[in-house]
Structure 1
Amino acid sequence: MRVNVQLIKAANDSHLWADTFDRKLTDIFSVESEVAKAIADQLRAHITGQEEQILAAKPTDNPEAYDAYLRGLAYTLKTTTSPTNALAAQKYLREAVRLDPKFALSWALLSYVDASGYIIQSLEPTVALREETRQAAETALTLQPNLGEAVLAEGYYHYACLKDYDTAVRYFEQARPLLPNSSRIPESLAYLTRRRGQWDQSESYFNEAERLDPRNVNLLNEHAGSYILLRRFPEALRKVDQVLDITPDDLDTLTVKAAIAQAEGDLPRAAALLAPLHPNADDSYALETQVYQEILERRPAQITPRLKEILAKPDPALGPINSELRFWLGWAQEVADDHAAAQASWSQARSELESFLKEQRDNYFLIGYLALTNMGSGDKAAALALSERAMAALPIEKDAVTGPIPVEILARVAAQMGEPDRAIAALQKLLSIPYAGAFPAGPLTPALLRLDPMFDPLRNDPRFQKLAESAAPKAGDK
């Protein structure tokens, strides 16, 4: 076996060192350890006794299990944690621990992937998923109590699945000395402090993580996401461009760039970015951004055939994402004045969402989309009740990032259902705070209020006009 190794300075992409190792393929881990020590020598780094043990440790004796682990790991390093990437990572990591039930590192990463998918809903946040997350973390800790990744996974379970932030922080800090120079500790703390609404502290952790891992595209995209929540769009674009420098033509990252243009009200720029993209059925973020673009432009007829084609043969692995796309199809049909087709789409979406909600009773995301489908169908009482149920399921005090999303759902439902006072009050609240946004363009902005057809019933209200004409909130408006 020949291993070619290059040492590159990530900050400026400069070449520092290269070497070739010719070895017999009898023990891949001893080769890895030898290469790591050679790199440390080149960096003139002193390896501590603990680090020596880490380098010498063999995570598994099963090459097939290690191969599955590496494949799962690769999916966690993509630009975004999309449903497709999360499902693929989960599949390979489950296979790794099936092949070697004592593979602690893979148990830890499986728990981390499950927890991440649970909180951002790239995986269905069921009780079963939460339980797998807990069991995987505990298995990793039982197998290797001093494995930093296992301690981190336990913390991530408390953060993502239980929203027990204090306990999560204790685990993250416990993992820090076990994972020296790892970006994952400050990265995890950046996410947690963001959920707590501690925006300056989150920014500091993001910067620390990026100093340790400057070419981590998922981390850079998440940092861009933070700037979007804060409506600091120029800074978000700079981060997005950093990602595109590393992974040119990345579909999800280009979509983020288009969504920023939508939020700023620059529909021609958004259209130019979206036009070359051809998302597949499982690229739901890009698809929804394209649909939203045509809805904002009031010409959604072009996208509906593509959505119909996808939903004619929905992928069962995507679960409620298919129902979410069906809502978007209904909205596009409604804006195109195809009212009968819209009602049919919303009726089917409502039926599917109700079925999923039986297993995920507190899923604010499903409840919110069910509120919107009932709104489309004209059921005012159900739509308003579901909006309030979503707000109760995820209070802003528990989650500053996604907690305001149900408030946006209420604003949209109230606007459409003849409750202008409730709609205006909700919009006034939303425009004064950072948050993730119910739709692809991110948090509501004055530009989106001017463009989005859902707010048409409010256009003659002076209070709405004041909100829609105001400047976008600045970075300091927290």
Structure 2
Amino acid sequence: MNFIDELKRRNVIRIGGLYLVGAWLITQVGATLLPVFDSPAWAMKALLALLAIGFPLAMVFAWVFELTPDGLKRDSDLPASHSIAPQTAHRLNRAITVLLLLALGYFAFDKFVLSPQREAASVAAATKAVAAKPAATDDKSIAVLPFDDLSPTHDQAYFSDGIAEELLNALARVQGLRVAGRASSSYYKSRNLPLADIGKALGVATVLEGSVRKQGERVRVSAHLARVRDNQQLWAGSYDGDMEDVFA
């Protein structure tokens, strides 16, 4: 009898297959349950190490011993007439089939039930983390809000909006300075909101506000620059001139 036939007779190959299928199933279940119980990171590694060590031991055990109605016996001490290896082989085949069905069922359950749940939980956690984390704000960033029309007749809204747009366009040409878009800034026209809320929404570190007063052909443009995080005024200035040379 050659070596392969002897392995088959002693059910070593069947026990090896049974062990591998069972080890895979234990590994998959462990990967699912260990995190639930907040197990340490080394727990999974320890489980894999134990399963790896157990495989050669199981092979040696299957080669040396045979399970009989009278208990474990050394194969070399057991007469051929007393061996129940064929019956054991049938039992092992059934056990392997059952484990394969369990493994297949777990694989389907993991793919169609557990995996979508894990993915949904990961997305929810990531979304929550992003929402909780304040957006990074570039210190070299500014938003130009629409200027207030403080003219006596309040009929210079187009002019005050034009001044703010000219300033925004000029600042946008400054290299290294990030300027919030006109459409985003215009949303806050005539909205009495805290500067910190506006700055956070636009993602800027500073905000430029101002007003326009026109009386006759004279115009005054006032502006001030404020830092969002502490509402501190960084700069303020005004311009007085005639309408005919205001854009000169």
Give the TM-score normalised by the residue count of structure 1. 0.13
Q: Which structure has the highest helix share of the two? A: 1
Relative contact order higher in (CA < 8 Å, ≥ 6 apart): 2
